[in-house]
Each structure stands twice: as structure tokens, then as C-alpha cells.
């Protein structure tokens, strides 16, 4: 489903060069819940952002669902990106928009007919347990509720892949558990391929099938979670 081959990415800030990914290769199978773990600065987030080309590597290949993303023109890339949803540590909601309008946003971009988009919003709100919150603003929601809205938004266009960048790192343990339960449920119901970046082993142990360990821009280990980490 996802294949990264010999990906190298170096950030330039002024004349400083920061190597973030050094010859990284990765295969994630369809329907997998895949973890990427490592210390801060290891390159996890950069790697995740290469999967939808939010960052463009200087060399290597990125394939998603049989398509070579780096070969695509802008228009075709936008189409492919509809297959990939993403959620973030700090939710990235539009704070001046209601819950409903946040979820409508990707549906409008995809030119979904209004009546269908409204139905989809209702369906997504039910899925994430926020029916009745349409008119709320993000500032009126708890962290866990904000992440539920972000998950609904990410799933709006029926993606095949869900990318999660430290999606539970800003949440307390109880809320973390409820969001992980929701992600498991989404995976179970829709068979979405999930790639999850985290610095917490417990998160990987609770939901991931396989895990990649990153350190200083390199992939140092890939395997089944049970083999890479001993269960506590």
C-alpha cells in the first residue's frame, strides 16, 4: 500500500543543512496499523509527511496505492492525496469555523454535492461520537473532542490511508485510550491502513501490528511489535 524507497531529505535553513532522512526505505501493507517510533528529532514526522508529499524528498521514491507520487503533476497529486487522511498532535482545526464547517472543508474541496456532504458530516459525527456538536467551535471542546473532529475531517473523503502524527501526545492517559479505541474501531470497520508516529512505546503496543524504529534520520529496526518490544 505504501512504499518508500531510499528516501533522503535534508532541510535547508539559511545555509545550514539539516539531514532529516538518510536513505530510508519502508513498506506498509494494506490494512496494517503501522507504528513509527523514535526520539524527538529522529525524522518520524518528516517521514510521515513524505507519504503525502507535504515534504518532498530530494531523492528516492514514494509509492502509495500503486502510484508513484513524485512523478505526478499537481492536479493528479491532489487526486491521490484524497486517499490519504492525516491527524496531528495539536489537531490543526480551523478555530474560527464550527465543527460542521471543519468537517465540510475537505468535502467542499472535493466538490461533494451539498446534500451528500451534509449527510456525510452527520455520519462522521456519529462515528466519532459527537452528534449534536455541529455548531460548536473548537474552543468549546476538550482536547479529546477536538481530536475526534480532526479524525472525522480526515476520514471525510473515504481515505485508504490515515496518517497520525503524535495524535495522542497532547492528551491525558484516559483520553489517549479513548482515541486509540476509536482508531482501532475505524481500522476494524473500514480496513483503513494506519501509519502512526509516536514517541510512546505503550501506544505502539496497544494498537500497532508492526513498528519501525528511527534514530537520527535512519531506520534502525522494523518488525512485529511483539518482536521489537517485549510486552510489559
Complete DSSP assignment for 197-213:
EES-HHHHHHH-SEEEE
Using the minimum distance from each CB to ligand ADP, give the nearer residue, 100 or 166.
Answer: 166
Q: Give the Cα separation of 6 and 19 in Å (integer).
A: 14
**How far apart are alpha carbons 168 and 179 in whole angstroms?**
7
Distance from chain centroid for Cα 92: 12
Give the residue with the Cβ less far from ligand ADP, 171 or 219. 219
Cα–Cα distance for residue pair 93/133, rounded to 1 Å? 15
Instruction: Report, in Å, the least distance between residue 164 CB and ligand ADP.
Output: 12
| Binding of residue 180 to ligand ADP (CB under 6 A) | no
Q: Nearest to residue 93, comparing CAs of 20, 170, 192? A: 170
* Total binding residues toward ligand ADP, as defined by CB under 6 A: 20
Selected range binding ligand ADP among 122-130, 135-143, 146-154, 180-188, rule: CB under 6 A: 180-188
Could you say whether residue 31 binds ligand ADP (CB under 6 A)?
A: yes
Distance in angstroms (rounded) separating the CA atoms of residues 166 and 71: 29
Residue 222 binds ligand ADP, judged by CB under 6 A: no
Is residue 11 at the binding interface for ligand ADP, with CB under 6 A as the rule? yes
Q: Which residues bind ligand ADP (CB under 6 A)?
A: 11, 13, 18, 20, 29, 31-32, 38, 40-46, 184, 187-188, 209, 224
Amino acid at each position: 500500500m505504501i512504499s518508500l524507497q531510499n528516501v533522503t531529505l535534508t532541510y535547508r535553513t539559511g545555509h545550514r543543512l539539516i539531514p532529516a532522512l538518510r536513505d530510508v526505505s519502508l513498506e506498509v501493507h494494506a490494512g496494517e496499523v503501522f507504528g513509527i517510533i523514535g526520539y524527538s528529532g529522529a525524522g518520524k514526522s518528516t517521514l510521515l509527511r513524505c507519504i503525502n508529499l507535504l515534504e518532498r524528498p530530494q531523492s528516492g521514491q514514494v509509492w502509495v496505492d500503486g502510484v508513484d507520487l513524485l512523478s505526478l503533476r499537481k492536479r493528479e497529486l491532489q487526486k491521490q492525496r484524497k486517499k490519504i487522511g492525516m491527524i496531528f498532535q495539536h489537531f490543526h482545526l480551523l478555530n474560527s469555523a464550527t465543527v460542521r464547517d471543519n468537517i465540510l472543508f475537505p468535502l467542499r474541496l472535493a466538490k461533494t454535492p451539498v446534500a451528500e456532504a451534509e449527510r456525510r458530516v452527520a455520519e462522521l459525527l456519529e462515528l466519532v461520537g459527537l452528534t449534536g456538536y455541529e455548531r460548536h467551535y473548537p474552543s468549546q471542546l476538550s482536547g479529546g473532542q477536538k481530536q475526534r473532529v480532526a479524525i472525522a475531517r480526515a476520514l471525510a473523503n473515504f481515505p485508504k490511508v490515515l496518517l497520525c502524527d503524535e495524535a495522542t501526545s497532547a492528551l491525558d492517559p484516559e483520553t489517549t485510550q479513548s482515541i486509540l479505541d476509536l482508531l482501532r474501531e475505524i481500522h476494524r470497520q473500514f480496513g483503513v491502513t494506519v501509519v502512526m508516529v509516536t514517541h510512546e512505546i505503550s501506544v505502539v503496543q496497544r494498537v500497532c501490528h508492526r513498528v519501525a524504529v528511527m534514530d537520527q534520520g535512519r531506520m534502525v529496526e522494523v518488525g512485529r511489535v511483539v518482536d521489537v518490544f517485549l510486552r510489559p
